[in-house]
A and B are shown apart, each in its own frame.
Chain A
């Protein structure tokens, strides 16, 4: 089982880095707040977006059929994959049949989830992640720590050292501009030499058969405009009914993600360019299972904006790698147990249940509620560690009895400061304990009632 607190240990021990990370991520949340503040219709948009997704999910199979029909008519080819293995097999098959050994890739959490890169690399294909942040973590042989900002956990000096080793930049160079320029030159050559480009999909338009990809760097566009083969991989839940609905999501996505009004490039692909091929791979990989679960299906509305990560106090103070799954943060903790409840049973507990994620989510997913639901379900399925179960049992017993509650309050005021600290509390100072209980303070308070 993934023990989030244990995995976060090293991250939490470096206090300077921890506070820097917290601030860097919170800064993005603040930019989102500014972008939201200038749109009077923001809350209405969130409601609309949520309703559109709920509607689409309520007849997803129909929309997928419509999408497939239109995509084929536009000249694309459509493939279906039940799970990660089928997905990887299809992608590899397409590449192998065309003798591709050099692939450029733009960001796709789906392929990350499916483990596509190692799968292809093991079969002799060079896979180059072209998003700057993704290239950085790929050089380091580690997964992205954030779904929108993959290298948010790294300092520029570390990237400088890395680029010196990998790209031959001068020793000590840590200026983001100069480092980005070095990456630009390096990746230009990769784009020009690639035999195929693979992208994720932000939205798929049912009524037109188009797929939409959003980036700021332009890497998806370069990767698909040069080589003769474009593979676009999407989860079944990426559908929107039509272009007008797409407009609603585009207004929300970048504002929620980085505080921009829109991403630099929002590319609509309808079929391949002349003389090239476009293959769309539609993947289930557990999604139909989530759809079947009434209390959890809203999680499929997610547009992967990352806002719930940026606002989450636990994410900000533990870093994305502590989650041990491709998608970190609140949405990751809600989705991961569906795929493997046993392995990911710890994740729904990596939350304070403060509800901030639910407040910022542009498609109004009830994230903190789902985290709580998971806790109950995991406990009922016996997947919660004994210690945690014991503490919850005691807690429940105490909270149901007034006398026990009072007694435990008194004991806690005396003994809590003496208890050893572990898990998240390891680096924490306890506030001084009050001498009297709240009840006593209330009874003795001065002034009129």
Chain B
């Protein structure tokens, strides 16, 4: 018998009595009085920075980020920003030298500072991880309280890559001391636009 059928048969033979699927529609989870404030705090707790762009453009807000101002190679999935044409990239290895990457997020979660990023089936998601520094742009109206709310709202792509991204890449594998900049971004700034 092929392994697949053998395993499924063995699992069915275990005869676990059926148990109901818990109803999650009633689960609300924690809620905050000031969503934006809590989100910003969570971003900082995750090792990132958070700025609210009240007036002016994202482009000018980006210039306030020292790493952005110093960057030479800038990739962006937010239209109108950056100096790299990602659609022209044939092989993700070409993105190894990217200094800065700007990503749009569909949602931001107040309880943990995570932003929902999708690649919409593009081949070059590597840029999110190869870039030395990151900025994420999220609309204030796209902030939710917690992950229950987030997944109730989200439409998972049938195909493609998506992720929760919270803060810069980090590790505490050496004596539990937190070090920012493990393999991915060394800094992560979240811009909340209104």
Contact residues of B between 1 and 51, Cβ < 8 Å to A: 2-4, 6-8, 10-22, 24, 27, 29-30, 42, 45-47
Chain B residues near A210 (CB-CB < 8 A):
156
Scan residues 92-135 of chain B and give those whose CB is less than 8 A from a CB of chain A.
Answer: 92-93, 96, 109, 111-114, 119, 121-123, 125-126, 128-130
Interface status of B88 (Cβ within 8 A of chain A): no
**B172 within 8 Å of A by Cβ?**
yes
The answer to whether B169 and A218 have CB atoms under 8 Å apart is yes
Query: Quick one: given A39-B30, A86-B3, A191-B183, are A268 and B156 in contact (CB under 8 Å)?
Result: yes
- Which B residue sits closest to A59, measured CB to CB? B18
Assess A208 versus B158: contact at CB under 8 Å? Given A181-B181, A216-B169, A262-B114.
yes
Q: Please state if B158 and A264 are interface contacts (CB–CB under 8 Å).
A: no
- Given contacts A58-B17, A261-B112, whether A151 and B173 have CB atoms under 8 Å apart is yes
Q: Which residues of the other chain, A, contact B42 by a CB distance below 8 angstroms? A: 261
Report Cα–Cα, A82/B151, bound state, in Å.
33
Complex CA–CA separation, A260 to B172 (angstroms) = 12
- A54 lies within 8 A of chain B by Cβ: yes
Stretch binding the partner chain, chosen from A73-81, A117-125, A359-367, A436-444: A73-81
Q: Which residue of A is nearest B109, CB measured?
A: A262
Interface of B is mostly: loop
- A383 is an interface residue with CB less than 8 A from chain B: no
* B15, B30, B129 interface centre (most CB from chain A within 10 Å): B129
Bits for B152-194, please: 1 = Cβ < 8 Å to A, else 0: 1010111111111111111111111101011111000000000
A262-B112, A267-B161, A267-B163 known; A156+B174 contact, CB < 8 A: yes
Q: Does B147 contact A (CB under 8 A)?
A: yes
**How many residues of chain A get a CB closer than 8 Å to chain B's CBs?**
94
A176–B174 CB distance below 8 A: yes
Interface-lining segment among A269-277, A394-402, A404-412:
A269-277
- B73 part of interface (Cβ distance < 8 Å): no
A110-149 contacts to B, CB under 8 A, are 130-133, 136, 149
Say whether A273 contacts B158, CB under 8 Å.
no
CB of B140 closer than 8 Å to a CB of A: no
- Name the interface residues of A226-256: CB closer than 8 Å to any CB of B: 226, 236, 241, 243-248, 250-251
**B160→A270 contact, CB < 8 A:** yes
Q: How far is the CB of B49 from chain A (nearest CB, A)?
A: 14
A344 CA / B26 CA spacing, docked (Å): 43
A180 in complex: contacting residue of B13, B93, B179, CB < 8 Å: B179
Q: Does B58 contact A (CB under 8 A)?
A: no
| Minimal beta-carbon separation of A89 from chain B (angstroms) | 10
Contact A264 B14, beta carbon cutoff 8 Å? no
Please determine whether B166 and A273 come into contact, CB atoms closer than 8 angstroms: no
Task: Report yes or no: A282 in contact with B160, Cβ–Cβ below 8 A.
Answer: no
Contact status of A244 and B24, CB under 8 A, knowing A39-B30, A131-B173, A176-B174: yes
Q: Tell me the count of chain B residues lying within 8 A, CB to CB, of chain A.
A: 79
Complex interface: chain A residues within 8 A of B121 (CB): 273-274
Measured between beta carbons, the chain A residues less than 8 angstroms from B171 are 132-133, 180, 216-217
**Closest chain A residue, CB of each to CB of B173:** A133
> How far, in angstroms, from A229 to B130 measured CA to CA in the complex?
18
Stretch in A284-292, A333-341, A427-435 with 4+ CB within 8 Å of B = A284-292
A245 to B147: give the CA distance in the assembly, Å: 10
Whether B164 pairs with A265 at a CB distance below 8 angstroms is: yes
Residue from A181, A192, A264 in contact with B169 in the complex, judged by beta carbons closer than 8 Å: A264
In the assembled complex, the Cα of A268 lies from the Cα of B119 at a distance in Å of 11
Q: Is the CB of B29 within 8 A of A41?
A: yes
Contact yes or no, A243 B183, CB < 8 A: no
Given contacts A41-B30, A244-B152, contact A219 B183 (CB under 8 A): yes
B150 in the interface (beta carbon within 8 A): yes
Known: A217-B183, A226-B93, A250-B147. A55 touches B161 (CB 8 A): no
17 A-B residue pairs with CB within 8 Å: A44-B27, A150-B173, A154-B174, A217-B171, A217-B182, A217-B183, A244-B24, A250-B147, A262-B112, A264-B168, A267-B163, A273-B121, A273-B125, A274-B123, A288-B14, A292-B10, A292-B13
Besides A191-B183, A217-B171, A261-B45, 14 other A-B contacts (C-beta < 8 A): A55-B21, A73-B158, A80-B2, A80-B3, A180-B173, A218-B183, A222-B183, A236-B7, A243-B151, A244-B24, A244-B151, A248-B24, A266-B164, A270-B160
Binding site for B on A (CB under 8 A): 24, 27-28, 39-41, 44, 48, 51-52, 54-55, 57-61, 64-65, 73-75, 80-82, 86, 130-133, 136, 149-152, 154-156, 159, 176-177, 179-181, 184, 187-188, 191-192, 205, 208, 210, 216-219, 221-222, 225-226, 236, 241, 243-248, 250-251, 258, 260-271, 273-276, 282, 284, 288-289, 291-292, 297
B binding-site residues for A, Cβ under 8 Å: 2-4, 6-8, 10-22, 24, 27, 29-30, 42, 45-47, 92-93, 96, 109, 111-114, 119, 121-123, 125-126, 128-130, 146-148, 150-152, 154, 156-177, 179, 181-185
